Structure 1
Amino acid sequence: MKRKIKLFILTLLISVSGFAQSYDTVANLQMGMGIFYTKVVEYTRPWSIDILEIDLTVPYNKLETAKANNRLKGYERTSSMAARNSRPGHVVVGAINGDFYGGAGEPISMQILNGEALKLPIDKSLFAVTESGKPVLARMNYTGRVWRGNQSYSINNVNQTRGTDQLILYNTFMGTATATNIYGTEVGVKALNTWIVNDTVYCIVVSKTAGTGNMAINDSVKVLSGNGAAATFLNSFNVGDTIKIAQFVSPAPRRIKELIGGFPRIVMNGANYVVQGYNEEGGPSHTFERHPRTAVGFSQDSTKVWFITVDGRQPHSAGMTLNELADFMIRLGIYHGVNFDGGGSTTMVVRDSVVNKVSDGPGVERTVSNALMVVSSAPQGALNRVKVQPGFNKIFRGESVQFRVYGFDEYFNPVQLVPAQIQYTLDPGLGSITSAGVFTAGQAPDTGYLRINYNGLRDSALIIVKGIDRIAIYPRSVVTDTSRIVNFTMSSFDMDSVPRPMLLTEYNWSVSNPSVLTVTAAGKIKGLAPGVSYVKAAYENLADSALVEVKVESGSAVLSIMDELQGWTLVSENVDTAVTKMTLTESPRTMGAKAFKVNYKFTYNSTQVNWIYLRNNIPVQGVPDSIKVDVYSDGRQHHITYLVSDDDNETFRIPASRYADKADQYDTMAIAVSRAVPTGTSGTFNFPVSFREIQVRLGSTRVNGQVYEGTLYFDNLRVRYPLQPTDIFADENTLSKEYYLMQNYPNPFNPSTTISYTVPSYSRVGIKLYDVTGKEIMNLLDEEKAPGNYSFNFDASGLASGIYFYKLQAGDFTSVKKMTFMK
């Protein structure tokens, strides 16, 4: 049964950068009076975003900062800071990690906690909150001054090492003492009113020492410490004196109670400010890359604040660029916003739980320098309502999800429930649910509700069971002959365009012209006779098809007799371009009236590779088994590679297995097309193809600083077709019955090499690279593979020279080979 239910309340459509993105709300809970937690996901990026919206007009709600271990230098988890600062009447409802930090956990910029400055600002954005609760965002400057009667002295720094003639203010964030030397005077002061920035604090002098240093600090007694001229100023103080301490940050309103750093500003006056913020504040370097993110912003009227985190570096969420984050924040209603420290630091805590997925690993919450919190002073009441989460869930057939039920009082404070008293009821046909709230979707697409009952308190969750919504065949068109097997691949997607892999045997395969083609249950086709046919893959009520042309060619075909330069260009790397030229010559030649003559010259440098490329774009008819060109060498070890592009313009290299090093005679460089490997990280080779380049890696004796000069000749570029119907690529009947990992070629290599392997049956294949100590360097492959022979190109440009090992793992099978990378 298919139920039609309006989803516009649960699905947020946001247009970003000219295209529409569909955000599904998978969690939506009121966590306090005027405090709402929401989790939204976008499946195609993918993104997972946690949002805490705070209404500052609710008198219970206040914003505060926290410092790791209550020390300027210190690390602590965001969840720990939230728990440590939570107590009856002062409950931390939510928190996010704050500023970037340096060594020992000291934030890079200013922080004010409960009216006390921890350090001075740098030229970065600061998010501040006034005593009345108004948020402020600006880059600010600091000034401070101490007054005794009509005399005054500037405060040079806070909680930092005292320098010559400097006056430093110390508080408990420094520690239990000032850690100063004996060359100065120190005065202990106690505030007569509350500590605050952007106003005057009156203090009474409670202690004074000279020539001693390291005065004790406690929660009520702060220390003014002076050297030289500043010490002379403090020497005039007497115990019992009333003094004034005035600290100001500007531009900012009066009486700043809390402040925390971040950078850069990314939303200003309701507009994306990322580029300007990046230029003004000098970074960060990862601004335009996708990473986990943390941010804070507030509305135009300053009554609402949003805490935002974006998961990243994980399969379920790629992370955001700061442009993407700013655009998302603007569409939430944010008028001013700033980026906080992200990456592995990104953390959001709601009611004692970390709600985002941290990127350092499951449950591995990183320690950070400081945090921004929302605190509620609402009283605790009795159970008033229940809420099931997720309140809306899209789930693929057969998959499972954990539903949880939460209890709240009238102030939306959490109330503990008795799990055994929760009753679950499902609409018929949706699937099944356990007494612990684990729902497993049925096999048929459907829409319905999960309903819960807790002693008469009720709630429900909307569930959409997703099936396969779209399938696609690849390649869309292909040319083959009667000799080889062509493997089609399929992609299948659910309603959110999330890939849902299926076995090829789950599709129904057919051909439109059985006299031209035959197809197996696994989508493998073989040409029977010249002609055209469609191959069709169907699943339930979905279908897609590809066009197949069967061509049978024989003998050889000339691509270019190479007796004119029209259509050809010479491109080079790391050579003397004044000397390296391509011309025509009448001798030596093998076909036609002329041949290509290429003079080259270069100075060897061990950090470079010297190349020449003979470029063209020549369509190739049919399905050749090899490509040939005649090369007249000067005796050096030149390596030849052909570059071709296939039907969808993916490019492939076809490297020779030997050098073109025969001097003073033509040598035919025949290279089997089966050696083709993608120039990128992956690719599927399909006919028809076009010939694109003859690539020549110039040979030398590899002596640094030595000049190498010579001449190469090229003639008669051609292809050869199979003499009889034999397989060019691996036929399913001739595949190895065992896994096999081949030795990479070339080896040693610089900078790239080809890795080949054989898979006898459908398997998940992994290939990893290790150094000589056994440390894993990188994951080269992790994919489901159909039976076949495979090759891919590995580029080691980012690695150091040396010996490495690559290991293939497929089920219980493992094989290890050694490779040598020489720069």
Structure 2
Amino acid sequence: MKKTFTILFLTFFSFLLNAYAQDSTVQYIGPGAILHKVVKPSVPWNISILEFDLTNPYISIETEVAHDKLGNGLEKPTSMALRNDSPGHTVLGAINGDYFGISAPTNPYTFLSNSQIKDEEYVFGRTHQRSSFGYDINKKPFVEILNFSGTVTASNGNSLDIFGVNRERGTNQLLVYNKYFSPTTLTNEFGTEIRLNSIDPVLINVPIRFIAEAKENSIGSMAINGKYVLSGNEAAATFLNSNISIGDTVTLFLGSEPERGRLAGLMGGGPRMIIDGQIPDNFDGFEGFGGTHTGSRHPRTAVGFGADSTKLYLLVVDGRQSSLSVGMTIKELAEYMKSIGCTDAVNLDGGGSSVLVARNQIISSPSDPGGERSVGNALIVISSALQGALSILHISPPAPRIFLYQQMSFTVQGTDDNYNPVHLNSSLIQWQLSKQSLGTITSAGNFTAASTADSGYVIVRYQNLADSVFIVVKGVKDIELKPKQAVTDNTRIVVFKATVFDTDNIVQNINPVQLQWALSDSSVGTLDVLGQFKGKKQGTTKVYVSFMNAADTAEVRVEIGQGKNVIDSLENLEGWNYELENLDSASLRLSSLYSSIGNFSFQIDYSFVYQPNIYNWIYIKNDIPTFGLPDSMYLDVRSDGRFHRLFFDLEDAMGVSYRLNTNKFATDSTGFETLKARIPSSTNVVFPLALKKIAIAFGNGGTAGQNYFGTIYIDNLMISYPPTTIDVKSANPSPEQFTLYQNYPNPFNPTTNIRFVINGEDNISLTVFDIFGQKVETLINGRLSRGVHEVKFNAAGYASGIYFYRLITGASSETKKLVVMK
């Protein structure tokens, strides 16, 4: 019988998690078991959730302790899962558990922070103020502060309270040790110890009868031998000596407070995040946890369940990975757990310990540099369903969306009805597409998308079974060209970048040679196949780019400046204003008292009380565009004798701000001095630049609490240009210049002309290539004389599309694009 599933069994598929992390996914991993992957890119959060139906008869919960011993070293949750995995006892999922003694992994007393119950026995029993997650023998879960409570009753009816299980023995205390402790009790000689052999099964909250088989007084460190040992000091030792002899029947009650009946498992944690559907108002100090732990975003692990206690949720949110997931606060985690249906939930150990495992694969992304961390214990969920026959096929990825021309690998896995994996013979797997217009798929499942948008199905067949997934080949939604406006001269290259968005509004990486570039006026400059523009003469041209059905436009101006030019003589205050920072008072006005050019300058009066480590600023603001590509900015300043520092704040065409430091302090009070600042020449700067403000940090005498005041004057705001910038009088190069011209006509059918200039006799080659870099035709391969040459290219035998032609000489090479359109 054919079964088709579009909800996929993920745990076998690392590819799915990597390729489809932008979407939330759901996968069945066992009977009554679902793995959810949720991604919230706006935060970002990367969340892994295991959901279990506790009413399913195959599902059970277990706790596990590292290496089955306290203080026997830490262990990774994947290791704990693997060693508990066997036929009929399949570990479907696991998460890290309680806080643990990471700095002392061989100390059994500090190995765990809170109590643990495993298989109806205490691994560690104590009292504490933190909540734990637990469940009874009927799989009914709970979250609450659950303390150990125990007594021993001798055959004569006398009894004594037990302080704990596998804890360090203190004065007058009675302890119980069992197989989860060290080989011996590790106690000193100041006490009495009795080894017990159980008559009844060892259970929680049920009286258990034992026979006293051995007794030691004032020796210590009694061998446990996989049984139970009573260990008492002083008053407790007196009780043991007075009331219990070898061969006596002794009754232990190892219970809980509050009493919760037959408990099957208990896992410590904290704090409790949801209590009967309510989230506490404030977690700072709650259950003893501080605000740094609860109020900061960290990787987190949690367990919770719904109102009817039939749905169990294990959750890990990754953190400390800024591009993947930043983690959650306890409040955020509580709100998220509630949003998925939890009415009760508790936080477990987090940070680098957080990990979620499904079917023996790590699904979350641990934050430690080395990956998964070894921990003290773990919570695991088991399926008792046995392996069955192949009945279901599962394709990965389950909901593929792929862009034009891109490739993707599909895989298929087989399972039985309970999602246990079944091996497939690869030679019998058959792949096909529902229609050829989607693209192509190989016998190995390697898919290549077509050149046009479409949708359909990828189908896999294996013997009498089949599965299919709906696939979307996404088209182009938009293309965005940046910068929108740029300025250059005839020496600096402007690189235009085109960003292509698919129909999901996702940016796609497109090979630049697949883009169509053009200029509205090619006499102003040249534009190559990579979007690199170089000016030839002053003027303005549009830059066009297109891909498929999308197009965008930008503008570039070639402005060639020379020498030093005044951009504002500061003869009037029109367009100028100012702001103050840490100044008591200041003013800006026009002055005829001093000037370095014209009749006026700007007079700046200031006053402030100096405080250490505080700078006192005035920002003189305007928005003055600059012409061309200046390399320096100047300002004349007359000081009042103090050491003042001046800066120019500029903004480029992309809105990026730059603060320019002037070359010296303004100190001269006898006349104007010119301060200079270099304009950055980095290719990251996109011209034109605009001056936004002149920032002045006033000097002081360095005496705290002293009032400083004075007056400075500024004048003659100028820019200069590099001496190598020379206007190009003609767009036509002389025979001294190596030049490859754009072919004409272009686009063409079937012939076009290619013209070029070489500056000396040389061996040259002129070759045409397709968009994949394969040589189509060699037009010239030989020695030519200096001068202008022209050759015709006939594309009658070639398909429509984009091609490139490359001219190579002994010292130079250049490539341009041509378009065959039939």
TM-score normalised according to structure 2 size: 0.72
Q: CA deviation at 1:302?
A: 0.9
What secondary structure does 1:392 align onto?
coil
- What's the secondary structure of 2:400's corresponding residue? strand
Partner residue in 2 for 1:65: 63
Q: How far did residue 258 of structure 1 move?
A: 1.1
Indicate whether 1:537 and 2:542 are aligned.
no
* CA distance in structure 1 between the aligned counterparts of 2:722 and 2:54, rounded to whole angstroms: 81
Which residue, 185, 188, 213 being the options, matches 2:192? 185
**Paired amino acid for 1:383:** L
* Cα distance, 1:82 vs structure 2: 0.7
1:214 counterpart residue number: 221
- C-alpha separation between the residues in 2 aligned to 1:687 and 1:188? 88
Query: Would you say the 8 A contact 1:600–1:711 is kept in 2?
Result: yes
The 8 Å contact of residues 48 and 316 in structure 1, kept in 2 or not, is answered as no
Alignment-derived partner of residue 473 in structure 2 = 465
1:568 aligns with 2:566: no
- Matching residue of 1:771: none
- Name the counterpart of 1:691: 692
Q: Kindly state the Cα deviation for residue 552 of structure 1 after the two structures are TM-superposed.
A: 9.3
The question of 1:347 aligning with 2:351 is answered no
Q: How much has 1:618 moved relative to structure 2?
A: 1.5
Cα 1:282–1:26 shift into 2, 3 Å: closer
**Partners of 2:602 and 2:714 within 8 A in 1:** no
SS at match of 2:662: strand
What CA distance in whole angstroms lies between the structure 2 residues aligned with 1:72 and 1:559?
A: 82
SS in 1 for 2:81: helix
**Cα distance per residue 1:222-278 (max 9 Å; x no partner):** 22222122222222222323223233144x733222122334444455566695478
Q: Which of residues 714, 722, 729 in structure 2 aligns to 1:716?
A: 714
Q: Output the amino acid matched with 2:74.
A: Y
The one-letter amino acid of 2:412's match is V
Aligned residue runs from structure 1 range 507-586, under 5 A: 507-510=515-518, 521-523=529-531, 535-546=543-554, 555-558=565-568, 567-572=577-582, 582=586
Aligned mates of 1:359, 1:468 — CA distance in 2: 36
Within a 5 Å distance, the mapping from 1:374-773 to structure 2 comes to: 374-427=381-434, 428-476=436-484, 486-502=494-510, 506-510=514-518, 521-523=529-531, 535-546=543-554, 555-558=565-568, 567-572=577-582, 582=586, 589-590=594-595, 592=600, 595-598=603-606, 611-623=615-627, 625=630, 626-632=632-638, 640-646=646-652, 650-660=656-666, 666-674=672-680, 685=686, 687=688, 689-694=690-695, 696=697, 714-716=712-714, 719-721=717-719
What is the Cα deviation at residue 325 of structure 1? Answer: 4.8
| Structure 1 segment 123-202 matched on structure 2, within 5 A | 123-148=129-154, 151-202=158-209
8 Å Cα contact 2:576/2:622 also seen in 1: no
8 Å CA contact retained: 1:643, 1:694: yes
Question: Residues 119, 708 of structure 1: CA spacing in aligned structure 2 closer, same or farther, 3 A cutoff?
Answer: farther
Change (3 A) 1:77 1:437: farther
Q: Distance in 1 between matches of 2:179 and 2:642?
A: 74
Q: Do the aligned partners of 2:7 and 2:27 also contact (CA within 8 Å) in 1?
A: no
The question of whether the paired residues in 1 share the 8 Å contact of 2:610 and 2:700 is answered with no
- Matching residue of 2:234: 228
**CA distance 1:227–1:302, shift in 2 (3 Å):** same
1:104 is aligned to: 104
Deviation at 1:482, TM superposition (A): 9.1
State the partner residue of 1:35: 33
Counterpart residue identity of residue 659, structure 2: R
Amino acid aligned to 2:189: I
Mark the CA change 1:399 to 1:505 in structure 2 (over 3 Å): closer, same or farther. closer
Hey, what does 1:318 align to over in structure 2?
325
Overall identity of the aligned pairs, in %? 33
Tell me how far apart the structure 2 counterparts of residues 472 and 652 of structure 1 sit (CA, whole Å): 25
Q: Which secondary structure does the structure 1 equivalent of 2:568 belong to?
A: strand
Q: Distance in 1 between matches of 2:304 and 2:460?
A: 36
Provide the secondary structure at the position in 2 that maps to 1:423.
strand
**Hey, what's the Cα distance between the residues in 1 that align with 2:586 and 2:559?**
36
User: Hey, what's the Cα distance between the residues in 2 that align with 1:107 and 1:79?
Assistant: 19
Q: How does 1:360-371 map to 2 (within 5 A)?
A: 360=368, 364-371=371-378
Q: 1:712 to 1:541 in 2, by over 3 A?
A: farther
Instruction: Tell me the secondary structure at the aligned position of residue 469 of structure 1.
Output: strand
One-letter code of the match for 1:300?
Answer: A
Runs of at least 5 residues in structure 1 that lack an aligned partner in the other structure: 1-6, 11-21, 678-682, 734-823
Matched residue of 2:674: which SS?
strand
CA drift of 1:659 comes to 4.7
Change (3 A) 1:89 1:667: same
Q: Secondary structure at the match of 2:261?
A: coil
Q: SS where residue 231 of structure 1 aligns?
A: helix
Partner of 2:342: 334
- Residue type matched to 1:689 in 2? A
Amino acid in the other structure paired with 1:59:
P
Does structure 1 conserve the Cα–Cα contact (< 8 Å) formed by 2:88 and 2:385?
yes
TM-score by length of 1: 0.72
Q: Following the alignment from structure 1 to structure 2, what is the Cα–Cα distance between the partners of residues 162 and 437?
A: 64
Deviation track 1:43-79 (CA, whole Å, cap 9, x = no partner) reads: 6666554332211001221111111111223311111
Aligned equivalents of 1:432, 1:657: Cα separation in 2 = 64
Contact 2:209 2:249 in 1 (8 A): no
List aligned pairs for 1:782-801, cutoff 5 A: none
Q: Hey, what does 1:52 align to over in structure 2?
A: 50
Select the structure of larger CA radius of gyration. Answer: 2
- Deviation for aligned residue 1:380: 3.1
Change in 2 beyond 3 A, CA 1:565/1:542: closer
Structure 1 residues 653, 183: CA separation in 2 closer, same or farther (over 3 Å shift)? same
Query: Does the aligned pair in 2 maintain the 1:564–1:584 contact within 8 Å?
Result: no
Letter in 2 for 1:62: S
| Larger displacement relative to structure 2 (180-189 or 110-119) | 110-119
Shift of 1:306: 2.1
Greater fraction strand: 1
The count of aligned residue pairs is 691
How far residue 487 of structure 1 moved from its aligned partner, in angstroms, is 4.1
Higher mean alpha-carbon deviation, 76-85 vs 584-593, is at: 584-593
For the Cα contact (< 8 Å) 1:264–1:284, is it kept in 2?
Answer: no
Decide whether the 8 Å contact of 2:284 with 2:294 is kept in 1: no
Cα offsets for 1:733-762 (capped at 9, x unmatched): 9xxxxxxxxxxxxxxxxxxxxxxxxxxxxx
Aligned partners of 2:99 and 2:112 also within 8 Å: yes
Decide which of 107, 114, 118 is 1:113's aligned counterpart. Answer: 118
Find the residue that maps to 1:109 and give its secondary structure. Answer: coil
1:87 aligns with 2:94: no
Check conservation: 1:78, 1:368, Cα contact below 8 A: yes
- Counterpart Cα distance in 2 of 1:60 and 1:8: 24
Per-residue CA shift, 1:207-229, capped at 9, x if unaligned?
3222111112243x122222122
Residue 243 of structure 1 corresponds to: 251
Structure 2: segments with no counterpart, 5+ residues: 9-19, 106-110, 727-732, 734-822
Distance 1:45 1:393, change over 3 A: farther
Relative to structure 1, the CA distance from residue 521 to residue 157 in structure 2 (aligned partners, 3 Å threshold; closer, same or farther) is same
Partner of 1:797: none
C-alpha RMSD of matched pairs (Å): 4.5
Q: CA deviation at 1:305?
A: 1.1
Cα distance in 1, alignment partners of residues 100 and 494 from structure 2: 56
Q: 1:351-396: CA deviations, max 9, x gaps?
A: 233334444569x433222211111222333333332233222334
Cα 1:420–1:269 change in 2 (3 A) is farther
